[in-house]
Amino acid sequence: MGNILWLILGGLFLALGWAVVGLILCVTIIGIPLGLQAFKMAALTLTPFGQTVSYGGGAGSTLVNIIWVVLVGWWMAIGYVGAGLANCITIIGIPFGIQSFKMAKLALWPFGADVVSVR
């Protein structure tokens, strides 16, 4: 039920936006790794309920994540944190706020992370 409400209230548009960004980034060879991270965000944005993010990776992932944070990760994470705080104002919005916080962490540190279904 949460995923359906999420999609109706804007999740579908966010996922489409991430997918378009991923396609644009994949036009160049250098942009492909960034495009893959955008597709990862699109997948999580489509159905955040029932999915979790497992973090791993090594030194290479950490290095690329640092570059990601400096270039784009911080402002994307701030947007998700802002949305999460706005959702948490009401009791009904708290589950949606928690999902926004989960996406903020992935937006901040996407390399080496995997979106895993809990089911």
- pLDDT one-digit tens code per residue, 29-72: 988 998 998 898 888 888 888 888 888 878 888 898 898 888 88
Query: What ranges do the domains of the chain cover?
Result: 2-117
**What SS3 state is found at 5?**
helix
This prediction's pTM: 0.81
Q: Which residue has the higher pLDDT, 2 or 100?
A: 100
Closest CA to 54 of 117, 118, 115: 115
Res 29: pLDDT: 92
In sequence order, the β-bridge partners of residue 52 are 116
Res 73: pLDDT: 85
In this predicted structure, the answer to whether residue 119 has a pLDDT above a threshold of 80 is: no
Closest CA to 43 of 62, 22, 28: 22
Residue 12 identity = L
CA distances from 78 to 22, 65, 75 (A): 20, 16, 5
pLDDT in tens, 98-114: 999 998 999 899 998 88
Least confident range from 30-34, 82-86, 90-94, 115-119: namely: 115-119
In this predicted structure, the answer to whether residue 115 has a pLDDT above a threshold of 90 is: no
d(CA 99, CA 85): 11
